[in-house]
Chains A and B, each alone.
Chain A
Amino acid sequence: MKSELEAPTSTVSGEPIALPGARHWQALRDADGIVWLGLDRADESANSLCAEVLEEFGAALETIAARAPRGLVIHSRKPQGFLVGADIREFEHFADPAAAEREILRVHALFARLETLPFPTVARLHGPCLGGGLELALCCRHRVALEDAETTLGLPEILLGLHPGAGGTVRAIERLGVAAAMDLMLTGRQLDARRAQRLGLVDRVVPARHLDRAARALIMNAPAVRRPPWWNGIAATSVARPLVARLLRAQVAKRARPEHYPAPYALIELWERHGGDRAAMLRAEAASIARLFFTPTSRQLQRLFFLQERLKTFGKTAEMQDAPRVHVIGAGTMGGDIAAWCALRGCRVTLADREAKFVAPAIARAHEAFRRRLRDPYARAAAIDRLVVDLAGDGLERADIVVEAIVEDLAAKRALFAHVNAAARPEALLATNTSSIPLAAIAEELPVPARLVGVHFFNPVDRMQLVEIVTTPQTDPDAATRAAGFVRRIGRLPLPVASAPGFLVNRILAPYLQEAMQLHEEGVPLAAVDRAALAFGMPMGPLELADVVGLDVCLAVGKVLAGASGATVPAVLGRQVAAGRLGRKSGAGFYRYRSGKKLAPREAGDGGLPAADVIDRLVLRLVNEAVACLHERVVADADLLDVGMVFGTGFAPFRGGPIAYARERGSDAARARLVELAGRYGARFEPHPGFESCFS
């Protein structure tokens, strides 16, 4: 939570320095002769590096250098943060890799100028300092950062299928050593200020009240520049580099395949080949990132990034200033985890269930989750206090939002909402987390059915970013917007969908999971089915995923969908559930588990089915169902469908989602292949009638 007491921005005063024509930058010279150059990008809520900002920056540096100051402090005049990185909207303007490389080399020249200024330079950091922002900061001699929870440093380019491109690969390794720098760049993870200091990324970490003083002190008595440990010199020799590179590749290979994600491998190769020659590595970095811009992987990841931003705009008009009071009814896995997540994100939550013993597991999981996610013991204690066990249901009357997460039973839900509707405040938002019951059926008996909105979380709540906002044509649009605003407030991505059976994500996922079960029934080994999906780029095989979701849940969703479409649920699913093999939670499902860990199955061979058939049967059924959803307007457009499947199920991100995949493959080819599979394996592969209109 941001402190009202201490503003993170600079309060230094002095004589202004004219920067002719500058819209984004301001400079002043203080009594010590230090120039403070502040960025406040016009017309944007966050600072990012666009061509205009960079051009003005170059001009400002020359103006300042001409006045030979005692030193230069670069800071952000936005309370929100320092710099979130390059403005990736401008990437689209590059015509080809050569044009991109020319632009990048201009940035290189600018950053080199900053790096070689003949007086001390300090980057004064608060809030996000990411990507190009950190690369800029790395060109300064010293960095001072704010010690709060919002201050994060990182080089997340890899998450867009890129690597740092403004000299960051060279300067991060120089500053941190190869191990720490590669870890930062290959994972894209963000560090808080304390960790950044421990790694040597920043020189001082101080509270807001000392940021200006610390920046000044670093200029007035500049300490020696910190160097990484001695063994980094050895790792960087031409003999050691190939060995280290091999280790790095092995690390990356556990998470990403080169054919899916080329950027990490490009980064490792960049260092392996040029790690001993600064100038050559800088040149090669520019060429490498220019190439990566144009890879399909990066294009898709960039597209998803923008779609993610688009999801964030839902509910923007209903943005909540204060954290809402949330009342969650039902402390099962979903209800308990939703309550804990809301408390983690600052809401006061009452978690209601009939008896303490039903709530107890949720409280234990919440303690565990807060321990994992909140390093600060005071923040952890506060989160625990925000999560209040409410056996009497007292929180209902004061709640801003009521989330129902009880058993999937229509009569029980109707009875509950009759009570909720009577007791809750009239302006309270009523939400159900149902995954299988049509919203209209639950809302039907309410005095004002328009009041109820579906807010459908995915399991595990703390890892799945997507939340479906489910509405019917009768739903009050204002209630839907407020539901989306709530989902934004707790840091999740709202996706508006229509209340069709299974909604969007589960409905598209179901045929994919069922086809996997069917393949297994036909004798394809578990591992062969899941391997095919992994090779496609899914984060987890479908049979393992079914085990994780829970086979009872799969069966319930399958039945709802079967009831709606006349499709059949694979017999094996019913047999597993009847035998009490419910998946990971019961110790066995398709796989066996020991203390939550999957055991290797005892099978061999590939079942005699061509791998291409296995993957096409899995993925094309999923694509076909996606087409059906678009056709039935379960979701507004193909982009939202794609981003929903990526963030709701982990659908291979580099492929951009099911519709993007079908487009890439060629919609005609995909359709023809479905016809072929239908001939060989049955009518469930018949292309949906909407196939052509969907891709036209």
Chain B
Amino acid sequence: MNGRTKLAGRAVYLVDGARTPFIKARTEPGPFRASDLAVWAGQALLARQPFGPAALDEVILGCIAPTADEVNIGRVAALRLDCGDRVPAWTVQRNCASGMQALDSAAQSIAGGRAELVLAGGTEAMSHAPVLWDTPAVAWLGRVSSARSPLERAKAIAGFRPGYMKPVIGLLRGLTDPVVGLSMGQTAEILAARFGLTRAMLDAYAVTSHERLAAAQAAGRLGEIVPIIDARGRVHDHDDGVRPDSSVEKLAKLKPVFDREFGLVTAGNSAQITDGAAWLLLASEEALAKHGLTPLARLVDVEWAGLDPRQMGLGPVHAIAPLLARRALSLEDVEYLEINEAFAAQVLACLAAAADPHYCRGALGLEQALGTIDAARLNVDGGAIALGHPVGASGARIVLHLAHVLAARGARRGIAAICIGGGQGGAMLLERE
């Protein structure tokens, strides 16, 4: 198998990157809008470059749900970052992989010779997700406002139904698959059942995620974070969803949230709802030489895969398999892996599927199992269960963090992969000299 997508052309390098801390959503909209987060992280990243922001060839930003007043949030961020009028900018959307799509789009621009220096990343302020009106309610409002006579208007008003008052939570709607009608959590429940996962396994995985993030914070392994300050002067300088004291016992007390009666997936073993942004600076060989930049890693290849939306959580395996095949690599050749933790069930299902010869033959067309994904080399500094999943930003964050992991540990090769609501998977292969 050779996969459906690949990165072809000139070499593409990751030069540098920065992100905001991921800020857990509380009961009200957070202190930063999506563009504010992108601006804070971008300002710090650009300030330390030897070139000015206007030297960028383009800016690409992933975001699932920009607010109505900044729909092309990529351009908003570029202008606010002082890139000037002449740097074009755009926004990409591939659901949970929007940030990774921005990196891929930037890489394609550079590989194809269209651009030399691109700023790409993702941002999401999930706490600012809109509250909407139902379609029947909107139709009713339309009838009232277009009524021509008082009588007509009175009739239209009389058509009101109490159900119109019920707000539609945009965030929940966005996390429900519009084709198969399952919430993302329910797709994780399907995987848990299919691969025989238990509640204890899910909760244990979640605890590990918190422990690893806490250890990384304590050891100062998250230099990618830029402290940010809100309008009230509060400093946000770390991923505040972390629970270093998390335990299987504590997590066992939580009730399932998606399949409420018999399910296994709880808020504790799922990714947190957070706000955050991450940027990477991508460059061609020429740009490295021109500006005297030292690359962090080379972005070698990219794969996007599609699969049944009802088991979208296996997307990483579906993307990793053809990527390895094309590069004639095995899992053993990949020293570190980042798989975005949408759900503990989904990550564990990926591990199980990769090791299952039956699944790999049937679904991936392999002759044998893909292999063992070593948990010790997967998400070594924790993942979205501990630090959250600001959907548009996560794809960029895992690539950024993987590059730092490879550099810090003197490793040569790593893959970052992500599952995508709607039934897709994305994977990126990084290498260091």
Partner-B contacts on A (CB < 8 A): 348, 350, 356-357, 359-361, 363-365, 367, 381, 385, 388-392, 394-395, 398
Q: Which of B40-48, B105-113, B212-220 forms part of the interface with chain A?
A: B40-48
Least Cβ distance of A378 to chain B in Å? Answer: 11
Apart from A364-B231, A367-B232, A389-B44, list 9 A-B contacts with CB within 8 A: A356-B227, A360-B229, A360-B234, A385-B39, A388-B47, A389-B43, A390-B44, A392-B47, A394-B44
B358 lies within 8 A of chain A by Cβ: no
In Å, the complex CA distance between A357 and B234 comes to 8
Q: What are the residues of chain B within 8 A of A398 when measuring CB–CB?
A: 52
Interface residues of B in 42-101 (CB under 8 A from A): 43-44, 47-48, 52, 80-82
Q: Say whether B362 faces chain A, with CB atoms less than 8 Å apart.
A: no
A-B contact pairs, 17 of them (CB 8 A): A356-B227, A356-B228, A356-B229, A356-B235, A360-B233, A360-B234, A363-B229, A363-B230, A363-B233, A381-B80, A385-B80, A389-B43, A389-B228, A389-B229, A392-B44, A394-B44, A398-B52
Judge whether A350 and B47 touch: CB under 8 Å: yes
Please measure, in the bound complex, the distance between the C-alpha atom of A653 and the C-alpha atom of B209, giving whole angstroms: 67
> Chain A residues with Cβ under 8 A from B152's Cβ?
none
CB-nearest residue of chain A to B236: A356
Residue B374 lies at the interface, judged by CB distance under 8 Å to chain A: no
- Is B237's beta carbon under 8 Å from chain A? yes
- Closest Cβ of chain A to B314, distance in Å, is 40
Residues of the A chain whose Cβ atoms lie less than 8 Å from the Cβ of B48:
392, 394
A388 to B232, CA, bound (A): 16
Whether B231 pairs with A367 at a CB distance below 8 angstroms is yes
Q: Which chain A positions have C-beta within 8 A of B52?
A: 398
Bound form: Cα–Cα A223–B229 in Å:
52
Looking across the interface, which residue of chain A has its beta carbon closest to that of B81? A385
A683 CA to B276 CA, complexed, in Å: 67
Question: Contacts of A389 on B, CB cut-off 8 Å?
Answer: 43-44, 227-229
Closest residue to A364 on the B side, CB-wise? B233
Separation of A357 and B43 alpha carbons in the complex (Å): 18
Q: How many contacting A-B pairs (Cβ < 8 A)?
A: 50
Interface residues of B in 311-370 (CB under 8 A from A): none
Which residues of B sit under 8 angstroms from A390, Cβ to Cβ? 44, 47
A373 to chain B, nearest CB (A): 15
What are the residues of chain A within 8 A of B234 when measuring CB–CB? 360
Please report the C-alpha to C-alpha distance between residue A388 and residue B18 in the assembled complex, in whole angstroms.
15
Interchain CB contact under 8 A, B227 and A391: yes
Residues from chain A with a CB closer than 8 A to the CB of B230 are 363
Instruction: Report how far A641 CA is from B43 CA in the complex, Å.
Output: 43
Residues of B within 8 A of A364 (CB): 229, 231-233
Select from chain B the residue with minimum beta-carbon distance to A368. Answer: B231
Contacts of A385 in B (CB 8 A): 39, 43, 80-82
Q: Which residues of A contact B43 (CB under 8 A)?
A: 385, 388-389
Interchain nearest-CB distance for B20 vs A (Å): 12
Q: 4 tightest A-B contacts by CB?
A: A364-B233, A356-B227, A394-B47, A367-B231
Complex Cα gap A394–B45 (Å): 10
- Decide: B231 and A357 in contact? CB cutoff 8 A: no
Name the residue of chain A whose CB is nearest to the CB of B233: A364
| Interface, chain B (partner A; CB < 8 A) | 39, 43-44, 47-48, 52, 80-82, 227-235, 237
C-alpha spacing A350/B229, complex, angstroms: 14
Q: How far in angstroms is the closest Cβ of chain A from B220?
A: 14
| Minimal beta-carbon separation of B305 from chain A (angstroms) | 39
> What is the CB-to-nearest-CB distance from B223 to chain A, in angstroms, rounded to a whole number?
11
Please name all residues of chain A whose beta carbon is closer than 8 Å to the beta carbon of B227 when the two chains form the complex.
Answer: 356, 389, 391
Q: Which residues of A are found within 8 Å of B229, using beta-carbon distances? A: 356, 359-360, 363-364, 389
User: Which B residues lie within 8 Å of A388 (CB)?
Assistant: 43, 47
A558 to B178, CA, bound (A): 73
A350 to B48, CA, bound (A): 12
Rounded to whole Å, the gap between the CB of B228 and the closest CB of chain A is 8
Bound Cα distance from A365 to B44, whole angstroms: 21
A385–B235 alpha-carbon span in the complex (Å): 17
Minimum C-beta distance from B313 to chain A (A): 37
Q: How far is the CB of A340 from chain B (nearest CB, A)?
A: 12
Cβ–Cβ < 8 Å partners of B232 in chain A: 364, 367
Instruction: List the A residue with the shortest CB-CB distance to B235.
Output: A356
- Tell me which residues across on chain B come within 8 A of A361, comparing CB atoms: 233
- Residue among A361, A367, A385 having the largest count of chain B Cβ atoms under 10 Å: A385
In the complex, what residues of B have CB within 8 A of residue A359's CB?
A: 229
B411 CB to closest chain A CB, in angstroms? 26
Tell me which residues across on chain B come within 8 A of A392, comparing CB atoms.
44, 47-48
Chain B residue at minimal CB-CB distance from A387: B43
**Minimal beta-carbon separation of B160 from chain A (angstroms):** 34
What is the CB-to-nearest-CB distance from B303 to chain A, in angstroms, rounded to a whole number?
36
Q: In whole Å, how far is A381's beta carbon from the nearest beta carbon of chain B? A: 8
Most B CB contacts (10 A, CB to CB) among A365, A367, A389, A392 go to A389
Residues of B within 8 A of A381 (CB): 80
Instruction: State A398–B230 Cα separation when bound (angstroms).
Output: 26
Nearest B residue (CB) for A367: B231
Q: When chains A and B are docked, how far (Å) is the Cα of A343 from the Cα of B43?
A: 15
Contact B235 A357 (CB under 8 A): yes
A348 to B53 alpha-carbon distance, docked (Å): 13
Q: Is the CB of A348 within 8 A of B233?
A: no
Provide the bound-state CA to CA distance between A232 and B145, in Å. Answer: 40
Contacts of A357 in B (CB 8 A): 235
Check A348/B235 contact, CB under 8 A, given A360-B229, A392-B48.
no
Q: Which residues of B contact A391 (CB under 8 A)?
A: 44, 227
**Which residue of B39, B80, B237 is within 8 Å of A356 (Cβ)?**
B237
In the complex, A365→B229 CA distance in Å? 12
Q: Which residue of chain A has its CB nearest to the CB of B232?
A: A364
Cβ of B82 and Cβ of A348 under 8 Å apart?
yes
A350: min CB distance to chain B, Å = 7
* Distance in Å: Cβ of A383 to nearest Cβ of chain B: 12
Q: A395 vs B82: C-alpha distance in the bound complex, in angstroms?
A: 14
* C-alpha gap A54/B128 in the complex (Å): 59
Q: What is the minimal beta-carbon distance from B163 to any residue of chain A, in angstroms?
A: 35
Contact between chains at B47 and A395 (CB < 8 Å): yes
Which residues of chain B are within 8 angstroms of A348 by Cβ–Cβ distance?
82
CB B219 to nearest CB in A, in angstroms, measures: 19
In the bound complex, CA of A140 to CA of B262 (Å): 80
Which residue, of B81, B227, B230, B233, has the highest number of chain A Cβ atoms within 10 A? B233
Shortest CB distance B277–A (Å): 15
Contacts of B228 in A (CB 8 A): 356, 389
Neighbouring B residues of A365 by C-beta, 8 Å: 233
For residue A369, give the distance in angstroms from its CB to the closest CB of chain B. 12
State A350–B46 Cα separation when bound (angstroms). Answer: 12
Q: Report Cα–Cα, A102/B235, bound state, in Å.
A: 66
In the complex, what distance in Å separates the CA atom of A352 from the CA atom of B390? 29
A391 to B226 Cα, complex, angstroms: 9
Q: Which of B43, B47, B81, B237: most chain A CB closer than 10 A?
A: B47
Q: How far is the CB of A309 from chain B (nearest CB, A)?
A: 34
Closest Cβ of chain B to A251, distance in Å, is 34
Residue of B nearest to A371 (CB): B231
Please name all residues of chain A whose beta carbon is closer than 8 Å to the beta carbon of B80 when the two chains form the complex.
381, 385
For the complex, what is the distance from the CA of A348 to the CA of B231, rounded to whole Å?
A: 18
The distance from the CB of A444 to the nearest CB of chain B, in whole angstroms, is 31
Nearest B residue to A385 by beta-carbon distance?
B80
Q: Name the distance in Å between B3's Cβ and chain A's nearest Cβ.
A: 40
A388 to B52, CA, bound (A): 14
**Complex formed: what's the CA distance from A392 to B81 in Å?**
18
CB distance from B291 to the nearest CB of A (A): 14
- Closest Cβ of chain B: how far from A395's Cβ, in Å? 6
Residues in B with CB closer than 8 Å to A356 are 227-229, 235, 237
Cα distance, A385 to B43, chains bound together (Å): 9
> How far apart sit A390 and B82, CA to CA, in the bound complex (Å)?
15
Residues of A within 8 A of B235 (CB): 356-357, 360
Min C-beta distance of B23 to chain A, whole Å: 14
Residues in A neighbouring B47, C-beta threshold 8 A: 350, 388, 390, 392, 394-395
Q: Name the CB-closest residue of A to B39.
A: A385
Chain A residues, Cβ within 8 Å of B39: 385
Q: Which residues of A contact B237 (CB under 8 A)?
A: 356
